[in-house]
């Protein structure tokens, strides 16, 4: 199946080839060879925990690179505690609410994670993160500690509270992702690489985080329900099922897909803010760092929309597709073209029988119109349709075979 994916999507194979060539070891310019000791171990943890985006973080401007690496690891540690269902509620809340203080405690470590926590080792060796965090400029430390405090408090609240209303949903996503957007934006401005306004217009930064978090929550419904939790607001899912288990049941598939489409529609509402935020980012490595996750998110929403497989499994975009998006998300116009094409895909999947049809149509039409109006050449035209590349590929093979046979070799 993986081989067939590469054959049917040759531009993704090309993107994968260039990604491997660019990041193939040994590379004397990689961050790992420029740091040593505890910071080197932090970059090891970055690669273990952030997976696809480790390389992008390491390519950030040196003024931001270490700070964002450590910011990520601190929040990953916080998130690992929140996700661990083996930690008793009272103890978990205490850990979450005090986590912003342990990042200053030399030697702090946590060895009580459940056996299934994949990032438990980060907490076991968290002292290396503490050591390097305290080396950062005080201004960076203050921003990271403030976001950690506010995020931990919000997470602690939702160990007791349930996501019931749409306001709850927006608040929860703000705590676990919108605040990340706040912190990053403040770091961008504090570094001097971006204008002060980036760190001040936090509503847009919040929307950046909400778009990513809502995409993940929408996609992860099957895994979450099987784990005994659900982050879809009951204000949405209760329209389509009488329980979370029923929501993903095959016997309720048609209604479950309608609920899925409403969740996708809710996420799509953040696109105008995403475009506005990205238009304010000018430093190339910062732009790429911000743009890649957003490109992944719109691709994921397009995959999830009207797709019953989401209720059965954790669907993901193809690896080659992800590498292609990483390679393409280098400029505002390129990202706008990416969004435009995935909006077209959603448009094709939007059926009149879908209760969300009119709402999705309006969101997509407006977003496409705004994007097309801001591009110099108007609506993007894809001159590299993959079926044309496939035809050229097979024609080239045919010509080669024909010439080989007629040459008498």
- Quick check: is 9 in a domain? no
Q: How far is residue 232's CA from residue 358's CA, in Å, rounded to a whole number?
A: 22
For residue 127, pLDDT beyond 50: yes
**Domain CATH number, residue 69:** 1.10.600.10
- Burial class of 216 by CB neighbour count within 10 A (0 to 12, 13 to 18, 19+): middle
> Is residue 272 within 8 Å of residue 362, measured between CB atoms?
no
Same domain, 149 and 191: no
Residues 64, 51, single domain; the answer is: yes
Q: Are residues 363 and 331 in the same domain?
A: yes
User: 54 falls in which pLDDT band (50, 70, 90)?
Assistant: confident
pLDDT in tens, 202-222: 999 999 999 999 999 999 999
Check whether 390 has a pLDDT greater than 90. no
Element holding 10 (H helix, E strand)? helix 10-23
pLDDT in tens, 229-278: 899 999 999 999 999 999 999 999 999 999 999 999 999 999 999 999 99
Output Rg (C-alpha) for the chain, integer angstroms.
23
Range of the domain at 140: 31-160
167 and 102 in a single domain? The answer is no
Among all residues, which ones are annotated catalytic? Answer: 172, 219, 229, 289
Q: Is residue 147 part of a domain?
A: yes
Q: Please check whether residues 92 and 200 belong to one and the same domain.
A: no
pLDDT of residue 377: 65
What is the number of structural domains in the chain?
2
Q: Is residue 59 part of a domain?
A: yes
pLDDT band at 190 (very low <50, low <70, confident <90, very high): very high
The residue among 228, 326, 396 whose CA lies nearest residue 20 is 326
- Reported as a pLDDT band with limits 50, 70 and 90, residue 52 is low
Per-residue model confidence as pLDDT tens digits over 256-270: 999 999 999 999 999
Tell me: pLDDT of 28 over 70.
no
Tell which of 160, 191, 221 closes a domain.
160
- Give 21's pLDDT tier (boundaries 50, 70, 90): very low
Look at residue 5 in the predicted model and tell me its pLDDT: 47
The more confident residue out of 339 and 27 is 339
Report if residue 184 sits inside a domain: yes
- For residue 222, give the H/E element and its range: helix 221-226
Quick check: 12 pLDDT over 50?
A: no
Residue 309 covered by a domain: yes
Please say whether the beta carbons of 251 and 278 come within 8 A.
no
Regarding whether 275 and 361 lie in a shared domain, the answer is yes
């Amino acid at each position: 199946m993986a081989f067939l994916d590469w054959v049917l999507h040759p531009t993704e194979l090309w993107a994968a080839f260039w990604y491997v060539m660019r990041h193939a070891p040994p590379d004397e310019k990689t961050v790992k060879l420029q740091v040593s000791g505890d910071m080197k171990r932090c970059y090891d943890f970055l690669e273990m925990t952030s997976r696809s985006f480790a390389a992008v973080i390491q390519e950030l401007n040196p003024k931001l690179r270490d700070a964002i690496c450590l910011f990520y690891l601190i929040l990953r540690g916080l998130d690992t505690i929140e996700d661990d269902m083996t930690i008793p509620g009272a103890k978990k809340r205490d850990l979450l609410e005090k986590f912003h203080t342990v990042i200053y405690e030399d030697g702090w470590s946590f060895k009580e994670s459940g056996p299934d926590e994949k990032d438990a080792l980060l907490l076991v060796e968290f002292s290396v993160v503490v050591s390097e965090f305290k080396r950062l400029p005080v201004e960076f430390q203050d921003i990271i500690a403030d976001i950690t405090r506010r995020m931990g408090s919000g997470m602690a609240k939702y160990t007791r509270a349930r996501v019931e209303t749409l306001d709850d949903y927006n608040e929860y996503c703000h705590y676990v992702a919108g605040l990340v957007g706040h912190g990053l934006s403040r770091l961008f401005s504090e570094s001097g690489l971006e204008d002060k306004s980036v760190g001040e217009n936090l509503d847009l930064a919040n929307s950046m985080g909400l778009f990513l978090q809502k995409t993940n929550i929408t996609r992860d419904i099957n895994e979450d329900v099987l784990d005994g939790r659900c982050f879809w607001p009951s204000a949405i899912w209760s329209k389509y099922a009488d329980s979370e288990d029923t929501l993903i049941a095959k016997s309720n598939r048609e209604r479950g897909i309608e609920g899925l489409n409403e969740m996708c529609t809710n996420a799509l509402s953040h696109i105008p803010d995403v475009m506005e935020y990205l238009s304010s980012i000018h430093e190339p490595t910062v732009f790429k760092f911000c743009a890649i996750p957003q490109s992944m998110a719109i691709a994921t929403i397009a995959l999830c929309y009207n797709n019953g497989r989401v209720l059965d499994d954790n669907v993901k975009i193809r690896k080659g597709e992800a590498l292609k998006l990483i390679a393409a998300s280098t400029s505002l116009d390129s990202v706008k073209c990416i969004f435009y094409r995935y909006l077209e895909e959603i448009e094709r999947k939007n059926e009149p029988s879908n209760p969300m049809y009119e709402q999705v149509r309006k969101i997509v039409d407006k977003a496409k119109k705004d994007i097309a109006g801001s591009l110099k050449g108007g609506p993007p035209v894809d001159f590299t349709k993959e079926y044309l590349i496939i035809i050229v590929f097979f024609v080239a093979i045919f010509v080669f075979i024909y010439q080989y046979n007629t040459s008498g070799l």
